[in-house]
């Protein structure tokens, strides 16, 4: 039995957005046996882009039931059925998060008609629901509305099921993407199926329980499946897969904390098959300081210098000089230095010129690190009723922790108390900067 599902939402983030419409069409492989569809009150505004795309307005959902009011019906319709959607990761992720808010762990076997169509019906330029249905002559009524899209997905699924090659690919999909023929010799399918689809660190252990490889990722199960299902294309990888006997994991709430935790664990355990990271100790840094006339300056000093704001740290003075020269050159700071020199020579410091100079220096240097020198990054926690937090103080990583927002207001004073101290170094800064670039809607508490 298949429960074909489509949801419309206030936006694209499971952590922050809510479901505003859901449709469940139960299909037994031959005919539709049940259908459920309703608008939902998300108790938050709908993004204007979503309204333009779907036609669903805030007024339309204001008197609709909440997800809590219909969640039991959805559980009944999907019970012992395969959860099917076109891009199932999105629809399942949104619903799973809605259930997490209710304290329910929602788990279902899943099929993605995007993946299945690519394998069973190859050769199309696009596999978006609208384009693939147009190409196959499948009509869609009410495109970008939950019921219309779900009914079109049923027709696409029916066509896929009619193909002789579908059985093999459906089995792989239902095994969470695991092709059992490619599994390492001593690793069972059950060992992978126990892994959660959450952010965290996974550990490969050998026959004496020693960690031989680890990684911090956004989705533990997905990453491990991808890893073990790929061909062992190097002697080291082949040997690692011959040695691995079990997989352990630690949940972290966010990918950022997963990466930071994995790096800390790597330094402690030094697993045999992890890429070696050469430790780099910070010795010098670029500081932003103010001279006697009030002009902002960029200077290089040892990292223990206690005046000015530390902006970027380096493993040598030569590296710091190289980067500072690059910053000056790329942003044409020479022209601003010339203006500063002229004002100093005249002995008249114009307030507007001083302000413009300092503003440009500040804006320029911030491009190379953080928008704020001291802030907390607030994200999802390990459990539904908690949040995670990463602390940056004076551009230095201090550590991370978890808190219950209902019990602990997210003030700088409170958040400092729950931080677990961690070490800051070159690799840690790389991790944080890379993750912040990915986290476009990161919630920051600036202090």
Which residues are marked as active site? Answer: 144
Residue 122's nearest CA partner among 141, 135, 104 is 135
Please give the Cα distance from 8 to 56 (Å, whole number): 9
Distance between CA atoms of residues 42 and 61, nearest Å:
8
Q: Strand, helix or coil at 269?
A: helix
> Is the CA virtual torsion 359, 363, 364, 366 positive or negative?
positive
CA terminus-to-terminus distance, the chain: 53
Asked if residue 21 lies in contact with residue 146, where contact means CB atoms within 8 angstroms, the answer is yes
> DSSP state, 266?
H
Q: In the structure encoding, which two tokens stand for residue 8, read together?
A: 């419309």
CA 276 – CA 146 distance, rounded (Å): 48
Closest residue by Cα to residue 390 from 382, 378, 381: 378
DSSP states of 292-355 as a string? TTS-EEEEEEETT--SSEEEEEESSHHHHHHHHHHHHHHTTHHHHHHHHHHHHHHT---HHHHH
Please answer whether residues 253 and 381 qualify as being in contact, where contact means their C-beta atoms are separated by less than 8 angstroms. Answer: yes
The rounded distance, in Å, linking the Cα atoms of 323 and 305 is 19
Q: Can you tell me the distance from the alpha carbon of 363 to that of 369, in angstroms, rounded to the nearest whole number?
A: 11
Confirm if 303 and 285 have CB atoms less than 8 A apart: yes
- CA dist 81 and 92 (Å) reads 13
Are 279 and 269 a contacting pair, CB within 8 Å? no
Residue 207's alpha-carbon distances to 103, 211, 245, 316, in angstroms, are 37, 10, 6, 42
H/E stretch holding 180 reads none
């Amino acid at each position: 039995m298949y429960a074909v599902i489509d949801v419309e939402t206030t936006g694209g983030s499971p952590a922050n957005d809510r479901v505003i419409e859901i449709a469940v069409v139960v299909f037994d492989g031959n005919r539709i046996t049940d259908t459920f569809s309703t608008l939902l009150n998300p108790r938050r505004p709908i993004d204007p882009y979503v309204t333009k795309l779907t036609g669903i307005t805030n007024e339309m959902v204001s008197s609709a039931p909440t997800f809590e009011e219909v969640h039991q019906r959805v559980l009944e319709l999907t019970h012992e059925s395969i959860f099917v959607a076109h891009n199932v990761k999105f629809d399942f992720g949104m619903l799973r998060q809605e259930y997490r808010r209710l304290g329910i762990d929602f788990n279902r076997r899943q099929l993605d008609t995007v993946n299945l169509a690519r394998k069973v019906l190859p050769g199309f330029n696009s596999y978006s629901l609208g384009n693939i249905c147009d190409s196959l002559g499948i009509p869609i009524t009410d495109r970008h509305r939950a019921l219309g899209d779900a009914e079109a997905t049923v027709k696409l699924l029916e066509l896929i099921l009619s193909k002789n090659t579908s059985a093999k690919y459906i089995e792989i999909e239902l095994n969470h993407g695991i092709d059992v023929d490619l599994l390492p010799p001593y690793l069972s399918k059950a060992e992978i199926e126990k892994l959660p689809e959450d952010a965290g660190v996974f550990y490969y252990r050998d026959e004496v329980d020693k960690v031989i490889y680890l990684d911090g990722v956004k989705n533990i199960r997905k990453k491990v499946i991808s890893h073990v299902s790929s061909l062992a294309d190097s002697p080291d990888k082949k040997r690692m897969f011959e040695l691995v006997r079990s997989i352990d994991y630690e949940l972290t709430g966010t990918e950022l904390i997963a990466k930071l935790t994995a790096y800390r664990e790597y330094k402690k355990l030094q697993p045999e098959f992890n890429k070696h990271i050469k430790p780099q100790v910070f010795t010098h840094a670029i500081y932003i300081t103010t001279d006697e006339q009030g002009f902002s300056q960029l200077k290089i000093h040892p990292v223990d210098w206690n005046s000015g704001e530390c902006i970027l740290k380096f493993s040598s003075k030569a590296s710091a000089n190289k980067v500072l020269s690059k910053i000056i050159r790329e942003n044409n700071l020479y022209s601003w230095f010339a203006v500063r020199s002229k004002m100093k020579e005249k002995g008249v410091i114009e307030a507007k010129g001083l302000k413009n100079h300092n503003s440009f220096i500040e804006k320029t240097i911030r491009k190379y690190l953080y928008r704020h020198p001291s802030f907390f990054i607030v994200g999802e926690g390990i459990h539904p009723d908690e949040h995670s937090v990463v602390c940056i103080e004076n551009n230095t990583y201090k550590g991370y922790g978890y808190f219950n927002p209902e019990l602990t207001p997210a003030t700088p004073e409170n958040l400092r108390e729950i931080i677990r101290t961690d070490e800051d170094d070159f690799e840690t800064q790389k991790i944080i900067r890379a993750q912040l670039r990915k986290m476009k809607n990161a919630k920051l508490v600036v202090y």
